[in-house]
Amino acid sequence: MKDPQQGGIPWALYALTIGAFGIGTTEFVIMGVLQQVADDLGVSIVAAGLLISGYALGVFVGAPLLTATTGGLSRKRVLVGLMLIFTVGNLACALAPNYTTLMVARVITSLAHGTFFGVGSVVATSLVAPHRRASAIAIMFTGLTVATLLGVPAGAWLGVEYGWRTSFWAITGVGVLATLVILALVPADQGGQGGESFRDGFRVIGRGIVLLGLLTTVLGYAGVFTVFTYIQPMLVRLAGFSEAQVSSILLVFGVGMIAGNLAGGRLADRNLPRAIGVTLTILALVLAMTGPALQHPVTAVVFVGLLGAASFATVAPLQLWVLSRAEGAASLASSFNIGAFNLGNALGAWLGGAVIHSGTGLTGIPWVASAVTLSGLALALWALRRERQRAPLLETGDCV
């Protein structure tokens, strides 16, 4: 195992990446087998779609609560426990005899999601030198991007060919593997998670700069899902692709996610405030240009890749910003920020639907998406400027 002060990537980071891969796959694989689930359990496609909403709600609510209640345990023990929850939850999904049981199993599985990425982000930064913390977070989140690129399509293929339950059996196997490698490779840490307590943790979360960071995450990422939720009908109706071609095009989105994720981490390691400003600006521009780009098949494919890169380039900077401003409650704040990403996803999906129902149609979605992300950028720039202005006063001991 590499020393944090030495070069190279610690093997423990790859253990976290495997866990992230499994969690990312189980979150989105349901989209690829939605019709099979609906037909097998005798429910409507709308009801089956609520399995996605139930998971997202479980992440948003469960992440901070589970992180706070496990604050007295070592982070390694928490990560292992979360992977056990993940594994048992997916096993329950594979065995679910009816819709209600499947919904409960999905919600139980979702509890591992936010806390794993929250606590995992803190562990990842502890494994490397200070100037490589954002890159460490990005490496862990590479598991999520690879899940989108490979895990979800593979899981969907298994579900279509051998039944949707096979998808969850396969993900259960990933959970067992992730549990074992985390046990073997993640170093043991002493005591609780930095001495974080429930009351003190929420007091830290209440700091202005932390709340502003969380709100920036919600607004910045809401723009992504305002577009991405409706990317299939946009590619079909605006760019002229067939429905069968969309899955192949989305592979380009996955490749962009991986490249953008790693680039965002490196940029944040060099200058975090600049990385936040630059990545959100690029994301807003890409979202705005998506509408015109969809008028031609070639530019549509290019911008799908750019959207993937721009969306995930923001992840490591936003995660590190909240984590670094929440001294004394890093795990809790990090988990809250994962919940903020999911809240942004839900808000974006709702906004996209509202634009369609307003009569503007699919062509209006990219402009609204860009405006939402721009509001997050404006908030981030104001917060960072406010932080710079306060710093000299705090250093001289003045009250502010």
Per-residue pLDDT of the chain (400 residues; tens, 9 = 90+): 454 444 567 888 999 999 999 998 998 788 778 778 888 999 887 688 778 778 878 887 887 788 777 777 888 999 999 999 999 999 999 999 999 999 999 999 998 888 898 888 889 888 888 888 888 888 888 888 888 788 888 888 888 889 999 999 999 999 999 999 999 999 887 555 544 555 666 777 777 888 899 999 999 989 998 888 788 788 888 988 887 787 778 788 888 988 998 899 999 999 999 999 999 999 999 999 998 999 899 999 999 999 999 999 999 899 889 888 877 777 778 788 888 888 888 788 788 888 888 888 888 999 999 999 999 999 999 998 888 876 554 343 443 3
Tokens of 254: 């996955």
Closest CA to 205 of 338, 344, 325: 325
Q: Residue ranges per domain, the chain?
A: 9-194, 196-392
Question: What confidence score (pLDDT) does residue 228 get?
Answer: 82
Tokens of 214: 């969380």
- CATH ID of 196-392, from 3.40.190.10, 1.10.287.1080, 1.20.1250.20, 1.10.3720.10: 1.20.1250.20
Question: What confidence score (pLDDT) does residue 85 get?
Answer: 94
Q: How far apart are CA 226 and CA 282, in angstroms?
A: 16
- Domain 9-194 in CATH 1.20.1440.130? The answer is no
- The answer to whether 119 and 67 are in contact (CB under 8 A) is yes
Q: Within the chain, how many helices (H) and strands (E) appear?
A: 17, 0
Give the CB-side neighbour count of residue 58, counting CA atoms within 13 A. Answer: 20
- The answer to whether 44 and 38 are in contact (CB under 8 A) is yes
Question: What confidence score (pLDDT) does residue 400 get?
Answer: 31
Residue 90 neighbours by CB under 8 Å, 6+ apart: 26, 105, 109, 168, 171, 172, 175
Tokens 């959207």 belong to which residue?
307
Question: What confidence score (pLDDT) does residue 156 get?
Answer: 80
Tokens of 397: 């001991």
Q: How far apart are CA 388 and CA 382, in angstroms?
A: 10
